[in-house]
Amino acid sequence: MNESELQTILKSLDATHAQAVKRFFGESGSPHTSIASIDQGDCEWTDWFKAMATLQLWLESQKRDYPLERKLGYLSCTVEAFKNTPSLMRPKLSEATERMLAQHGFSD
């Protein structure tokens, strides 16, 4: 993903979610470096970024924060958890993240 694609995705999000994505990566986290390590699976990048915002906002509501690697790991596990769900029934990653957080939270 190049800078132009990244900016297009961020602009497609509302301001709250775009800011949450920036906080998701933190001061030292570079989206470009971090994105290279993501197995995108069947998810579109826009939904990955919405899921990042969903997770970040949930963590902030719980007054918690974790290193970037843990947060990306959580999203990767969420992708894996729904991998065997038929594609027509599979929720978007952002919706799956909401479900996982509601059912399981984010363990320390």
Q: What are the helix (H) ranges across the chain?
A: 3-12, 15-25, 31-36, 45-61, 68-81, 93-104
Rounded to an integer, the average pLDDT of 15-36 is 80
Rounded to an integer, the average pLDDT of 73-91 is 91
Reported as a pLDDT band with limits 50, 70 and 90, residue 108 is confident
Predicted local distance difference test score (pLDDT) of residue 7? 87
- Cα dihedral angle (86, 52, 106, 93), rounded to 10 degrees? -10
**What ranges do the domains of the chain cover?**
3-104
32-78, pLDDT tens digit by residue? 666 666 766 677 889 999 999 999 999 999 999 999 999 999 999 99
In terms of pTM, does the model score above 0.85?
yes
Tokens of 80: 């894996």
Distance CA 50, CA 97 (A): 10
Which carries the bigger pLDDT value, residue 92 or residue 32?
92
Q: Percent of the chain scored above 90 by pLDDT?
A: 65
